[in-house]
Amino acid sequence: MSGSIGIYIHIPFCKNKCPYCDFFSGKAAENDYDNYVRVLKEKIQYWSNKSPQKVSTVYFGGGTPSVLGADRLTDILNCIKNFFTVEPEAEITVEVNPETGKTLDFEKLRTAGFNRVSVGFQTAIERELKALGRIHTADDALVTTQRAKAAGIDNLSLDLMMGIPHQTVDSLKESIDFCKSCGVKHISCYLLKIEEGTRFFDIQGQLDLADDDKQAELYLSAVDYLGKLGYKQYEISNFAVPGYESRHNSAYWKCGEYIGIGPSAHSLLDGSRFFYGRDMKAFEDNIIIPDGNGGDIDEFIMLSLRLKSGLVFSELEKKYRPLSPAQMKKIMTFAKAGLMEVDSSHACFTPKGFLVSNAVIAEIIL
């Protein structure tokens, strides 16, 4: 084992279940929160014995970590700091829902070491928030970002959604303008996916959903507009003022190692992938499900191509081997079709290429 790792902490609680969401999360009571924090701390200790490495990033995701409140979040982070060597410059992120962010004690979080806040915002348009079943307003997100900044946390991210029922290119731009007016340094912009097992899956016929062409129009206009406002695309769905890219997520895309703690959390450690199932009891019992080897050449190609910096040929050769002539030929064909850009040092997707990246990557690694 060498180098430093990331730690992901999954908080499987939300105030309300959004009808489109298939993350492992749900409503719970205060005593469930306390019990969960106790179990998490046991597991943090367990993993520190397995992996006594330095930690360069910590990410509290969910669910809605902010429902736990600053005291519990601080307690968990302190436990990580007690059992791992968290680097002084580590990026430590907490996801916050705008509704809970209005009252969250950001001062306490900053003092504990949290230095990045990611806010689940989705849209500034009230009608679209309603369509998504969100329980907050756009102003709640503004208040949340202002409060975080006032507490000294200026590394802020907002999540935006594309393809929301009723959304138009203009309303999406309005939401992006709103993010800019909040002064955030990072914006994640995801297309709504209808997942089996969600309420939206059951009622999709009744929803005014964007078809493929509309989704493409929304995505391409968002990439273009975000770029004009100074948010540089660095991954399919992520945009940042240069220097504010998410270090935690960037490590995932570079095949960096990480431990995920919590039900449904995935890990890559010592070249192996494994995860906890979507089951609280199984997590308590520490039942870990193996998921094969991680970090092979195909995975490296696939993850690198998610990034705007793309597949750097010298990195690929150093870690594995050069691309085969057949693979290079396919890349040149995709470049001619306007889906990729390629030069002597790297290959990457164009915005249009990102829209079909899964199919293209499958072709390249065949």
- Minimum CB separation of residue 312 from ligand SF4 in Å reads 34
- Please, which residue, 14 or 340, has the CB nearer to ligand SF4? 14
- Minimum CB separation of residue 234 from ligand SF4 in Å reads 23
Report the residue count for the chain. Answer: 366
- Please, which residue, 11 or 364, has the CB nearer to ligand SF4? 11
Classified as helix, coil or strand, 289 is strand
- Minimum CB separation of residue 235 from ligand SF4 in Å reads 20
- Minimum CB separation of residue 89 from ligand SF4 in Å reads 29
Element holding 76 (H helix, E strand):
helix 69-83
- Please, which residue, 68 or 323, has the CB nearer to ligand SF4? 68
- Please, which residue, 70 or 96, has the CB nearer to ligand SF4? 96
- Please, which residue, 170 or 196, has the CB nearer to ligand SF4? 196
- Minimum CB separation of residue 155 from ligand SF4 in Å reads 20
- d(CA 137, CA 332) in angstroms, rounded, equals 46
- Please, which residue, 63 or 294, has the CB nearer to ligand SF4? 63
- Minimum CB separation of residue 287 from ligand SF4 in Å reads 23
For binding to ligand SF4 (CB under 6 A), which residues are involved?
14, 17-18, 21, 23, 25, 62-64, 97, 120
Which own/partner contact pairs does 127-131 have at CB distance under 8 Å and 24+ positions apart?
127/166, 128/164, 128/165, 128/166, 128/167, 128/171, 128/175, 131/164, 131/165, 131/166, 131/207
| Full strand arrangement of the beta sheet holding 311-312 | 311-312, 346-349, 340-342
Are the CB atoms for 185 and 154 separated by under 8 Å?
yes
- Minimum CB separation of residue 328 from ligand SF4 in Å reads 41
- Please, which residue, 126 or 363, has the CB nearer to ligand SF4? 126
Q: Cis omega (within 30 of 0) on the bond before 63?
A: yes
Joined tokens for residue 282: 């199984």
In single-letter form, the type of residue at position 46 comes to Y
- CA dist 297 to 255, 332, 365, Å? 10, 20, 9
